[in-house]
């Protein structure tokens, strides 16, 4: 079997910034999906479930036992290379999404912080209460700023409690301020054209991740443990049984490369900025959080509300009822707001901008 090591994955040369849509490479592999025009993700990953279900492949052993595990390791290496994160990300796994990723992150952080206090046991072995008592830990805080809701859920699941999640200020005058701008620049990585229920967790300390997630007592789940072995997904993730999430990621990255991914993302960003510009200049809508912001601050999410208070109360339902676009509802400063998240490889900036403008204008003018 040929090696699936990431070193055989060659990212095509191209600007790191998003090129124009015309620069997107036309791949012959897209023939794989010519008969599936309704698929929700990029054609190369074979997005419908039958290829994965038909394979019957499970993941828990090293590459010598499972091609799935080799593909997963290669795909994760590709992701690290694509994002130019550098080396050292030995603890890496596919998981379900933001909630599972935050659970893994807090579990690893909890393990490392409590263990560093010099107790004689670990959280993984003795449990949170006993390990904290042994290490003299009386409180754990998770610092965030406008954190995702799944962070509080994860804090509850790992035994820290939702109350440990503390909001920190954004003002430069506050000495405890985190460099959130720098963090956000690195975390704005979405829209790769693979199905939902497909998250990626990266950790520099594989030993901590393994300590949290190891299965120690089932001999039939044992994996090879040589110095060059791929870490078993069974011992670095939440699930013992899971689907082959790596396959669509591997297929997309192998097909598209850096240039193709940049072109796809550029279309999403350009569409989001067209929407933001329309909302900003509209007599009917208010662009959030500030109409004085630069369009360059928009990535793939646009937040806005109707200036008419009555319309704003039902705006989400009115938009979704058209069947032409879908938005989600949220709140900003205690008032209802609309959230548009652009996340499809099918984006056509000119076509989709026209549709969105027409829908929003028609609703505002009462003629939808």
User: How much is the CA Rg of the chain, to the nearest whole Å?
Assistant: 23
Write out pLDDT tens, residues 236-273.
888 887 888 888 889 889 888 889 999 999 999 999 99
* 3-class DSSP assignment, residue 80: helix
- Phi, psi at residue 58, to the nearest 5°? -110, 160
Q: How far is it, in rounded angstroms, from Cα 86 to Cα 207?
A: 19
CB-based contacts of 28, cutoff 8 Å, min separation 6: none
Write out pLDDT tens, residues 71-80.
899 999 999 9
Q: What is the pTM (predicted TM-score) of this model?
A: 0.69
Write out pLDDT tens, residues 39-81.
334 555 444 444 555 444 555 444 445 788 888 999 999 999 9
Q: Which domains does the chain have, with CATH numbers?
A: 27-256 (3.40.640), 260-364 (3.90.1150.10)
pLDDT for position 306: 97
* Burial class of residue 171, CB neighbours in 10 A (0-12, 13-18, 19+): exposed
Indicate if the pLDDT at residue 224 is higher than 90: no
């Amino acid at each position: 079997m040929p090696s699936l090591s990431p070193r055989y994955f060659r990212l095509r040369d191209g600007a790191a910034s998003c090129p124009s849509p015309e620069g997107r490479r036309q791949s012959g592999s897209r023939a794989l999906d010519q008969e599936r025009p309704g698929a929700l993700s990029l054609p190369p990953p074979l997005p419908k479930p039958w290829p994965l279900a038909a394979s019957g492949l499970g993941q828990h052993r090293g590459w010598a036992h499972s091609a799935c595990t080799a593909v997963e390791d290669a795909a994760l290496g590709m992701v690290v290379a694509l994002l130019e994160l550098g080396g050292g990300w030995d603890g890496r796994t596919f998981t379900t999404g933001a909630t599972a990723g935050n659970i893994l992150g807090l579990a690893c952080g909890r393990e490392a912080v409590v263990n560093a206090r010099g107790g004689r046991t670990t959280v993984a072995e003795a449990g949170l209460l006993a390990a904290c008592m042994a290490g003299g830990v009386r409180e754990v805080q998770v610092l965030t700023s406008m954190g995702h809701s799944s962070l509080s859920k994860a804090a509850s699941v790992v035994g820290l409690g939702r109350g440990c999640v503390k909001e920190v200020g954004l003002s430069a005058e506050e000495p405890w301020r985190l460099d959130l701008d720098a963090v956000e620049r690195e975390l704005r990585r979405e829209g790769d054209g693979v199905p939902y229920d497909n998250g990626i967790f990266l950790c520099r300390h594989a030993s901590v991740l393994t300590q949290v997630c190891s299965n120690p007592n089932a001999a039939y789940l044992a994996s090879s443990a040589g110095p060059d072995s791929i870490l078993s997904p069974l011992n670095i993730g939440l699930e013992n049984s899971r689907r082959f999430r790596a396959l669509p990621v591997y297929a997309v990255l192998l097909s598209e490369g850096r240039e193709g991914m940049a072109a796809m993302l550029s279309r999403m960003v350009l569409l989001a900025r067209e929407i933001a510009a329309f909302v900003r200049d509209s007599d009917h809508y208010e662009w959030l959080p500030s109409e004085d912001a630069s369009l360059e601050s928009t990535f793939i999410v646009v937040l806005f509300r109707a200036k008419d208070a009555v319309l704003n109360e039902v705006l989400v339902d009115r938009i979704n009822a058209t069947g032409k676009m879908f938005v989600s509802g949220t709140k900003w400063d205690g008032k209802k707001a609309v959230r548009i998240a652009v996340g499809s490889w099918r984006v056509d900036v000119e076509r989709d901008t026209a549709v969105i403008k027409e829908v929003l204008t028609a609703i505002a003018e009462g003629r939808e």
